[in-house]
């Protein structure tokens, strides 16, 4: 009898000392993560050294699981981090290889962050569009090639899409405008070409649209002005042409508008000057006509850069009534006449006015 009691007691102790199988990640998730790791090589930091054992929810670096289902919910691997594992290393992270399509087997994945590793190449797996719970896709700062997956618009819960600073080519897929939950879009610093989708305005929840440093062409879609909450629009350093839609100046919360470094023509809409925009950069285009005489007491510009265009006429007197103007640059145009006296011109340097036809007055020479 005593022997039997001892056996049951020992068995209970052993069972309690083992990790609960029900609390461990499923073998299918573990296998998918190991296949993902096998496609990558990280020789300096050792971030994958902890990826061992049967439970990928337990102390696997960068892996988080849903506490109820124990399915893998998030992968966060940053090449630049203040994590202690990076403090011990003599350098920032560097990783080569590619993103394995095995990532698509993590059916409950809601976040995928693989950023600033500098050497990860190959395409974004097209099957990533089949992950129904994905909310964050952040792949900035690698060497990814290929195109944005054509079916990206299937990700109905996606709020952040960041593929900036890679080598992605092709056009913006038409389905992207179906991302009804998207708040932050960043595709800067790639080789993306073609036109901005004409129905870009379908992205009703968008707050930031950062598309600079690509090879986009064609006009700026009027539909952008239908995105009520858009605060930051950066289309600079592309090949965009045609006029600036006047409706952009009627957007309620647009604070930053960067259109510099394109082939935009036509006049400056007066709505931009009387808008709530505080950073306005239209430099290095082919914009012509006069600077609108539409400044007023509510005009507040930390930056207004109109340099390297084809503007003519004079600097409007109404600019003196603006609440605030910080950086102001109208150099390299065809402006003429006296520079208004007083603020904001009393703190500006001559470089803001040089290379015009006949501007005069402080800080340039006397008229």
Looking at the domain assignment, is residue 94 inside a domain?
yes
Most confident of 83-87, 226-230, 317-321: 226-230
| Collapsed DSSP state (helix, strand, coil) of residue 120 | strand
Q: CA angle 22-28-33, nearest 5°?
A: 110
Return the CATH number at 24: 3.80.10.10
Residue 10: predicted pLDDT? 40
Q: Tell me the percentage of the chain whose pLDDT exceeds 70.
A: 94
**Mean pLDDT of the residues in the chain:** 92
Looking at the domain assignment, is residue 4 inside a domain?
no
pLDDT band at 1 (very low <50, low <70, confident <90, very high): very low
Residue 22: predicted pLDDT? 57
Looking at the domain assignment, is residue 15 inside a domain?
no
pLDDT band at 223 (very low <50, low <70, confident <90, very high): very high
- Reported as a single tens digit per residue, the pLDDT across 81-99 is 888 888 777 778 899 999 9
Residue 245: predicted pLDDT? 98
Instruction: Walk across the sheet containing 286-289 and list its strands.
Output: 193-195, 215-218, 239-242, 263-266, 286-289, 310-313, 334-338, 358-360
Q: Give the residue numbers spanning the domain of 109.
A: 20-360
Looking at the domain assignment, is residue 8 inside a domain?
no
Q: What is the pTM of this model?
A: 0.91
Looking at the domain assignment, is residue 226 inside a domain?
yes
For residue 252, the number of C-alpha atoms closer than 13 Å in the C-beta half-sphere is 5
DSSP conformation class of 166: S
- Based on the number of CB atoms within 10 Å of its own CB, is 349 exposed (0-12), middle (13-18) or buried (19 or more)? exposed
pLDDT average, residue stretch 161-170 = 98
Task: Give yes or no for residue 4 having a pLDDT over 70.
Answer: no
pLDDT band at 310 (very low <50, low <70, confident <90, very high): very high
Q: Tell me the percentage of the chain whose pLDDT exceeds 90.
A: 83
pLDDT band at 20 (very low <50, low <70, confident <90, very high): very low
Cα distance between residue 278 and residue 281, in whole Å: 10
Cα distance between residue 182 and residue 184, in whole Å: 6
Looking at the domain assignment, is residue 77 inside a domain?
yes
Residue 86: predicted pLDDT? 80
Cβ 222 vs Cβ 247: under 8 Å: yes
What is the number of domains present in the chain? Answer: 1
Q: How far is CA 210 from the centre of its chain?
A: 5
- Reported as a single tens digit per residue, the pLDDT across 106-154 is 999 999 999 999 999 999 999 999 999 999 999 999 999 999 999 999 9
- Reported as a single tens digit per residue, the pLDDT across 252-308 is 999 999 999 999 999 999 999 999 999 999 999 999 999 999 999 989 999 999 999
């Amino acid at each position: 009898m005593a022997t039997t009691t001892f056996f049951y007691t020992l068995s209970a102790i052993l069972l309690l000392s083992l990790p609960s199988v029900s609390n461990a990640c499923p073998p299918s998730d573990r296998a998918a993560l190991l296949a993902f790791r096998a496609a990558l090589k990280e020789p300096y930091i050792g971030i994958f050294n902890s990826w061992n054992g049967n439970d990928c929810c337990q102390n696997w670096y960068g892996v988080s699981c849903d506490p109820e289902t124990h399915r893998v919910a998030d992968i966060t691997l940053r090449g630049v981090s203040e994590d202690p594992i990076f403090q011990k290393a003599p350098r920032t992270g560097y990783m080569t290889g590619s993103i394995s399509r095995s990532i698509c087997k993590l059916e409950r994945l809601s976040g995928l962050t693989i950023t600033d590793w500098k050497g990860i190449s190959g395409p974004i797996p097209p099957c990533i569009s089949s992950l129904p719970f994905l909310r964050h896709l952040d792949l900035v700062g690698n060497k990814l090639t290929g195109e944005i997956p054509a079916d990206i618009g299937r990700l109905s819960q996606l709020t952040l899409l960041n593929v900036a600073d890679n080598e992605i080519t092709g056009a913006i897929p038409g389905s992207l405008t179906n991302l009804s939950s998207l708040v932050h879009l960043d595709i800067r610093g790639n080789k993306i070409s073609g036109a901005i989708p004409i129905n870009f305005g379908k992205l009703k929840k968008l707050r930031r649209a950062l598309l600079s440093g690509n090879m986009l062409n064609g006009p700026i879609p009027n539909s952008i002005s239908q995105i009520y909450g858009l605060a930051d629009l950066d289309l600079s350093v592309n090949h965009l042409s045609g006029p600036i839609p006047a409706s952009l100046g009627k957007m309620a919360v647009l604070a930053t508008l960067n259109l510099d470094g394109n082939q935009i023509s036509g006049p400056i809409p007066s709505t931009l000057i009387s808008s709530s925009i505080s950073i306005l950069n239209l430099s290095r285009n082919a914009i012509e006509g006069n600077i609108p005489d539409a400044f007023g007491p509510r005009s507040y510009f930390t930056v207004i850069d109109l340099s390297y265009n084809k503007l003519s006429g004079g600097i409007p007197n109404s600019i003196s009534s603006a609440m605030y103007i910080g950086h102001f640059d109208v150099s390299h145009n065809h402006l003429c006449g006296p520079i208004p006296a007083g603020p904001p011109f009393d703190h500006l340097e001559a470089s803001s006015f040089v290379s015009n036809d006949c501007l005069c007055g402080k800080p340039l020479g006397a008229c």
